[in-house]
Chain A
Amino acid sequence: MTDSDDIALADHLTRRRARVSTVSAVLFMASMATSINVEDGSTRPQIFHLVAWVIWAAVLVTMLAIGGGLGRSRSVRGLMNDESTRANRQHAMAAGFWAAVFAGLGLYLFNLLSPLTAGEAIRLIMTATVATALFQFGKRERESLADD
């Protein structure tokens, strides 16, 4: 049997995680949209912007993979990542995979018309992948939490 306080805390943290996932996806996409040409020679140096973006992407992917709850008890972390959450995460990651595939195909075609740098292409594919996975995870978690 699990402690009722842990159930309530996990419920609260799960709701917050769902909101944060959706907001993070939007912000991550917005960040990409506002920094399309930072790799251009004319706009250098933008190294800090790019390093910050890489760190942000790594943090988001890590949070998606482990599900948060850091600093909480093992019981609360277990409740936050029980089987319905793992199923939602699996669906979200599959959606991210398809986003990567279609982003890659789209960018390849776009590159035939207007050449892209490798850096731009990688960042666009990463943005599509991570933002889609986060958005899907947040959406599915919110649907799971909705009372009937």
Chain B
Amino acid sequence: MTELLCRLKAARTARGWTQAELAEQVGVSRKTINTVENHIFVPSTTLALKLARALDCPVEALFSLAD
């Protein structure tokens, strides 16, 4: 299976946000943010787009496929 690279934690911390603050912006639980950041859970397309919108960046800046 193709590996998904996730840069969510770096993007969040660059904004100075906690997991709870990002969760609040996106409307999900802090646990969901935690699982995405720790590569436990691959988010749906909808959630990935919501995360990108909350962090004001393209979704490709948060998630990409490993070559």
Contacts and interface: CB of A to CB of B under 8 A. Distances in A.
B23 to A, nearest CB: 5
A interface majority secondary structure: helix
Given A83-B47, A84-B31, A145-B34, A7 B23 contact: yes
A148 B37 contact: yes
Contact of B24 (A2, A85, A141): A2
Interface string A112-148: 0000000000000000000000000000010111111
Contact of A85 (B23, B27, B31, B36): B31
A83 B31 contact: no
B65 interface: no
Interface in B13-35: 20-21, 23-32, 34-35
Interface stretch (A8-16, A26-34, A40-48): A8-16
A11 B24 CA distance: 12
Contact of A144 (B20, B23, B35): B35
Contacts of B25: 1
B31 A144 contact: yes
B40 interface: yes
Given A83-B47, A148-B37, A2 B23 contact: yes
A148 B33 CA distance: 12
A7 B44 contact: no
Contacts of B41: 83-84, 87, 144
A144 B28 contact: no
Contact of A8 (B20, B34, B36, B37): B20
A7 B29 contact: yes
A73 interface: no
Given A7-B24, A87-B41, A144-B40, A82 B32 contact: yes
Contact of B30 (A11, A141, A146, A148): A11
Contacts of A85: 29, 31-32
A116 to B, nearest CB: 40
Interface of B: 20-21, 23-32, 34-38, 40-41, 43-44, 47
